[in-house]
Amino acid sequence: MRTTAHPATERDLEAVADALTALRGKADTGAALLSHFDRSAVGFATEPWQIGDLANEWVCAPGTGNAGVVLYLHGRRFQHDEPADIYAGPLSAASGLPVLLTHYRLAPQHPYPAALDDVLSVYRALLAQGFPADQIALVGHSAGATLALSALQRLRESGDPIPACAVALCPITDFTLSGTSLTSNAGTDIVSMEELHQIRDTYLAGAHPAGAPQSPLAGTTEGLPPLLIGCGDAELLRDDATRFAEKADSAGVDVNLEIYQDMPHGFPVMGLESSADLTQRVSAFITQRFNGGSPDTPERSLTIRRLG
């Protein structure tokens, strides 16, 4: 496992301190966080892609190539949608790849496993369209990172082709909420324990918190693709990321663990210098996996047609 610690800049530390003061105690810190930070505008085009009743969007920044595709799973507590400008657009701009943003079903109306089933349906639709698995990257943030890791375990168990790589940023991997950082980082994160309990209870709606794949840490990690796992070391959920990375590494999985010092949960979408650095690292990781480590690998043609 390659573990990299990234120190925070003074500018980021000031911005995070201001956010902690402004947002702590909010009932929905995610919504407050997105309205608190000014993110640089990134130009991109979108194209709807319907799969049965499930809405998705292709998100393409200018200059997007055709070396592969990114399936992006958004955050927001398994309960709220996310527009393309939050992360899908910036990820397309940074990677030069088309990003498929899936609007999976949301709790509480559609609790576990509805969102996970939607993710698997979209991934299999990409395969059916002729996208080879080794040219698909699975990327998730927060709740979406949990879904990404859960989806990998389900795909491996079902014998489906595994994507080229996967990225999990600030995941919840253990719904028993047993990580030591839940107590050691009390007071340093924007997210509260009350929120984590609300998220767990609303999403699982009776499913066992110690079961897999809803809690990816409870599942097996053998046979997973190369992983990039990112987190802030001030997160309550820091140990959810690091424990999963360690378990995957012990199973022989190629793991990059990126830890950003003094960063809270959700920092990848805060528009910080740390956010931009992580997005660049995610993009480089995906590109390397698509290219097999060689920048001279020829691109494959990209064809998208509507389903449903």
CA geometry: angle at 116 spanning 115 and 120, to 5°? 120
Please give the structure tokens belonging to residue 245.
Answer: 């990375």
Decide if 288 contacts 68 (C-beta within 8 A).
no
Active site residue 40: no
Catalytic residue among 142, 181, 215, 283: 142
- Of 57, 195, 235, 258, which residue is the catalytic one? 235
Give me the catalytic one of 6, 74, 141, 265: 265
- Tell me, yes or no, if 265 is annotated catalytic: yes
The C-alpha atoms of residue 32 and residue 13 are separated, in whole angstroms, by: 18
Active-site annotation holds for 92: no
Which residues form the catalytic set?
Answer: 142, 235, 265
